[in-house]
């Protein structure tokens, strides 16, 4: 898909998710990133058209966009989240995900875990046979960043400390991020457990068993639901 087509596909799938899954008088979780942006934009239109909605934002940037689009915000934990809508960096056949390319993995996972229903919106290029081509983000408390980097390297990954503007990247939660290349991830649940076993890891970008539905925007302009299979 060319860049223009890719952008149109993101827009189509973001809007479609809101139109299909957002109902009046509900609280929605709104994701982060360039695909989720279009869901936020559509939710803002619904609010302007008079629909009563509240949103829990998965990042500071999403909260800023909600304010810009007039979507009332709820604090995480104060309201039941009826449906959460978010993008992903990779989607496997069993609907496990890699997320966190935009650095919002902790809040995105918190919202996905809490939501009654978690809708993933992607373009075709995010659908993979195996997770792992995209470097796996791992959020780590700053004190432990170097230690956890070495521990993850010992698990077999090539690890980089994420940077922005020449300094270590700082998440909305005040933590650091490690981008970890494990190669093909054959057993995501085992890897996630191993990562969470390292003292200092806050969370990983592996989202396993959280997805309720995956909407995929295809290059021919259509949107399809991804059928779930156990994987290869």
Identify each DSSP E strand in 6-102 by its residue range. Answer: 26-30, 53-57, 83-86, 90-91, 97-98
Number of residues that bind ligand 5RP (CB under 6 A): 18
Output the smallest distance, CB 105 to ligand 5RP, in A.
5
Q: Which of these, 135, 139, 113, 128, lies nearest to 207 by C-alpha position?
A: 113
Per CB under 6 A, which of residues 19..58 are in contact with ligand 5RP? 31-36
- CA–CA–CA angle 88, 65, 42 (5° rounding): 70
Choose between 124 and 146: whose C-beta lies nearer to ligand 5RP.
124
Q: Pattern of binders to ligand 5RP over 92-131, x per CB under 6 A?
A: -------xxxxxxx--x-----------------------
Where does residue 25 rank: exposed (0-12), middle (13-18), buried (19+ CB within 10 A)?
exposed
Choose between 51 and 114: whose C-beta lies nearer to ligand 5RP.
114
CA pair distance 13, 17, nearest whole angstrom: 6
Per CB under 6 A, which of residues 52..71 are in contact with ligand 5RP? none
- CA–CA–CA angle 173, 109, 69 (5° rounding): 75
**Which of 9, 12, 63, 89 is close enough to bind ligand 5RP by CB under 6 A?**
89
The alpha carbon of residue 89 and the mean position of all alpha carbons in its chain are separated, in whole angstroms, by: 7
Choose between 7 and 45: whose C-beta lies nearer to ligand 5RP.
7
Output the smallest distance, CB 123 to ligand 5RP, in A.
8
Question: How many Cβ atoms from other residues are within 10 Å of residue 106's Cβ?
Answer: 22
Query: Is-catalytic flag, 68?
Result: no
Choose between 33 and 176: whose C-beta lies nearer to ligand 5RP.
33
- Marked catalytic residue, from 61, 108, 139, 151: 108
Q: Which residues are catalytic?
A: 108
């Amino acid at each position: 898909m060319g860049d223009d087509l890719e952008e149109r596909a993101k827009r189509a799938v973001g809007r479609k998710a809101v139109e299909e899954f957002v109902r009046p008088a509900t609280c929605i979780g709104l994701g982060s990133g360039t695909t989720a942006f279009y869901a936020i934009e559509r939710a803002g239109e619904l609010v302007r058209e008079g629909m009563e909605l509240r949103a829990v934002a998965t990042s500071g940037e999403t909260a800023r966009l909600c304010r810009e689009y007039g979507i009332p915000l709820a604090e995480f934990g104060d309201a039941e989240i009826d449906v959460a809508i978010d993008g992903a960096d990779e989607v496997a056949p069993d609907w496990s995900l890699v997320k966190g390319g935009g650095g919002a993995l902790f809040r995105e996972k918190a919202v996905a875990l809490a939501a009654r229903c978690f809708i993933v919106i992607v373009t075709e290029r995010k659908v993979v046979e195996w997770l792992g081509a995209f470097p796996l983000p791992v959020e780590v408390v700053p004190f432990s960043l170097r230690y956890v980097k070495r521990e993850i390297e010992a698990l077999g990954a090539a690890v980089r400390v994420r940077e922005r503007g020449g300094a270590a990247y700082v998440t909305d939660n005040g933590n650091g991020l490690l981008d970890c290349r494990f190669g093909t991830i054959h057993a995501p649940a085992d890897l996630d457990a191993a990562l969470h076993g390292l003292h200092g890891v806050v969370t990983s970008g592996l989202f396993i068993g959280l997805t309720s539905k995956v909407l995929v925007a295809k290059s021919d302009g259509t949107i399809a639901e991804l059928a779930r299979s156990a994987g290869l």
